[in-house]
Amino acid sequence: MSVKKLLAVAGVGMMVLTGCSTTIEQPKDDIQAGKENVDHTTSADKINQQEEVKKENEEPLRIVSATVSATQLLDQLGQDLVGVPQTKFTLPERYEGVTLVGQAMNPDLEAIVALDSDLVVIDTMFKENVEKSIEAFGLNAFYFNTSTYSKFLVSIEELGEAIDKEAEAKDFIESLQAVENTVKNKAEGQAPTVAVLFGGGENFMLATDHSYLGDLVDTTGAVNITDDLNIESDYIPFSMEQIVASNPDYILRFAHGNLEETKKAFDAAFDKNPAFKTLDAVKEGSVVDLDPNVFGVSANIYIVDAIQKLGELFYGN
């Protein structure tokens, strides 16, 4: 091979090598754009996004409410239901046409099972009656506590957690506590003494702070005359001697059962016993029959009205 040919081959080789090792310089703007398109999502962010997608794809909870107070509350929390209690009371419009599952004290568990429910809400006062049957049917139950105002608040919070309505439950609780605080602020240090008479027919009892009405009195800042007694019963036998000794500022009467008959029995007991006439509450006209449309033996969403009514009675408008 001639020298010229060798030089020509060497030249081509150098061109090939040079071409293979040449780096094309990328514009700085393109590099910056590439950086901006990099996914900076953290592992925690991705997990949260996956959870949100999962929630969106989940079927909504199939909930049955077997109690009126819980049904009213669940409406406030914006919760749909597949079953509601049979009752003489008007249920929220949201639940019009929803399957009826029997009365609160004796729910139709077979109907509840047929609804393929995820959760059935039952009042704690009926727990003893239905708990074994609930377990036998394999139902998941939440026992809603309405026995006192204080326990009602706790139960609202727990139910909110159970059905993923924590924020809504918190808002509702805060609205109740705002009314409570308004009434207490009106008291301005006053603490009137109160006797709560609970009756049906001619049988009267005194409501303690373990009962809904007794606890409601304490909630408003007043003093139930049974507070000093070391007892855990909701009600105790009526004692005229105790009433006279306590001489309460207010006597609240709540008729249970036939309202007209019980009210007449209350009046008869007051009229025939001269000791009643010595009480300051009687002299001052501070014997009050509680409106059954506002008050009751257990808590419900109308508790706001009950607290306000007691506040107006004890401390004025």
pLDDT tens by residue, 128-159: 999 999 999 999 999 999 999 999 999 999 99
How is the chain split into domains, by residue range? 58-144, 181-315
How is residue 214 written in tokens? 């007794």
The SS3 call for residue 254 is strand
Query: Dihedrals φ, ψ of 316, to 5°?
Result: 85, 175
Banded pLDDT at 256 (limits 50, 70, 90): confident
Mean pLDDT of 103-116: 94
Instruction: Give 51's pLDDT tier (boundaries 50, 70, 90).
Output: very low
Taking 80 as the threshold, does the pLDDT of residue 14 lie above it? Answer: no
SS3 content of the chain, % helix, strand, coil (to 5): 50, 15, 35
Superfamily of segment(s) 181-315: Nitrogenase molybdenum iron protein domain (3.40.50.1980)
Backbone φ, ψ for residue 218 (5° rounding): -65, -35
Mean pLDDT in residue range 273-288: 91
Q: Tell the burial category of 77 from Cβ atoms under 10 Å away from its Cβ (0-12, 13-18, 19+).
A: middle
The fold adopted by the segment(s) 58-144 is Rossmann fold (3.40.50)
Res. 56: pLDDT tops 70: no
**Residue 201 pLDDT grade (very low, low, confident, very high; cuts 50, 70, 90):** low
Distance from C-alpha of 62 to C-alpha of 60, rounded to nearest angstrom: 6
Q: Fold match between 58-144 and 181-315?
A: yes
Contact yes or no for 211/195 (Cβ under 8 A) = no
